[in-house]
Structure 1
């Protein structure tokens, strides 16, 4: 093994972290996470019991099934944003609508916690756009200075020979007698 080969010396956690970073960067990760986190309190609070000493406080409502459905749909939409990011706009709009519906149905949208997370996740999903891939440069011109018409002759990148610049069709290279200046008329 040579000292130049560093790929095999990396720790497996570093490789997993870099792989996760790449996966996360290719999809609306935070939108999906916020939508999933928003669905949890909406689905949980109607079925939760809070015990304060000997007293039990039940937060269940008559629309407990509606709360459960809204919460599960929000969690499903969050996973959809992660794994099918092509439909991210639909998932974002649906998450916003479900968050708004959760206000009257699910204990004020999971005591506003689930509502705010679901709204933020839906908005992030709608606004997310995939990045532009970097354009591959031509190997011949890679590293060569950019040249413009009418400049001095440049040297070929590989051979070092002087190459005159070719002018575009219809480009006038003649110079007038007064140096191209304009005369006051």
Structure 2
């Protein structure tokens, strides 16, 4: 049977049936894969330059040591983008800074090639946007406001009803949060030990919501103020001169505003600027305002604890 030009063109333009994506393709599409690949190549190229013949290198010594350090750091940044994609904001910024710095402290940034690859990979990693899986429950979750909620009794039960210090906190699925998150303010938030952060979905009365999950050994909050904002019922207020949490503390926050070390004031959200994945023990925040979904803690102690109705807001003058 002869194929006419029209039939041949029709067969060429007809879309091919595509089967389910492979595991490799799914893994690659759920993270900034090509940005990480560029950073790995850039770091390898910069680190390999000091191993070139001496006639090719401009200088060695401190430049060679810096090239090895920056190269290893860029390779590590690429691996972070592959295996911890939620850190792409911070990894992308640091990769660009290291790539630009390599021009001055190494052999012209690997003779420009490594520097340009690192800048491109860092920019791609910073601009990467995760794809939402097409599932009914998650599609519905995008329609309501991106906030998490919990009533004051749930907060107290989650904090005081946990077992003795040491056990792992219960999964967020064990408690369903309310629609509107309570507002927490404190003049100083000081975690004890390293703080680990990630982004996860927490069930609420309005569907799953994305929240920043902060895990730490203990924490202290000065001039603690918590106010519920349910809207329909009576609003409650919890105050304490100092609140001390211990026994594997886990905070679920939808928004966090404060000044890091009392100097750099930032606003962290799960989608735009999440909290860094690891924070050293000496980091603290002042003038903190947070939307708090849930809290789990092995122990809780408070000085000057007070519980009562929130102050009604001033009526609007027409």
Q: TM-score, normalised by structure 1?
A: 0.59
Q: Secondary structure at the match of 2:77?
A: helix
Q: Could you list the per-position Cα deviations for residues 139-174 of structure 1 after superposition, in whole angstroms to 9, with x for gaps in the alignment?
A: xxxxxxxxxxxxxxxxxxxxxxxxxxxxxxxxxxxx
Alignment of 1:14-93 (within 5 A): 18-49=22-53, 57-59=55-57, 60-62=59-61, 63-93=63-93
How much has 1:132 moved relative to structure 2? 2.0
After superposing on structure 2, the runs of 4+ consecutive aligned residues of structure 1 that deviate more than 6 Å are: none
Does the 8 A contact of 1:46 with 1:106 survive in 2?
no
Q: Could you list the per-position Cα deviations for residues 54-95 of structure 1 after superposition, in whole angstroms to 9, with x for gaps in the alignment?
A: xx6251422211110000000000000000011111100010
Q: Whose Rg is larger? A: 1
Gaps of 5+ in 1: 1-13, 50-55, 138-185
Alignment of 1:123-138 (within 5 A): 123-136=123-136
Question: Whose RCO is larger (CA < 8 A, sep 6+)?
Answer: 1
Q: TM-score, normalised by structure 2?
A: 0.35
Q: Could you list the per-position Cα deviations for residues 118-145 of structure 1 after superposition, in whole angstroms to 9, with x for gaps in the alignment?
A: 00000000000101221428xxxxxxxx
Q: Distance in 2 between matches of 1:77 and 1:33?
A: 10
Q: Distance in 2 between matches of 1:86 and 1:47?
A: 34
Structure with bigger helix share is: 1
Structure with bigger strand share is: 2
Aligned residues: CA RMSD: 2.0
Q: Distance in 1 between matches of 2:69 and 2:116?
A: 18
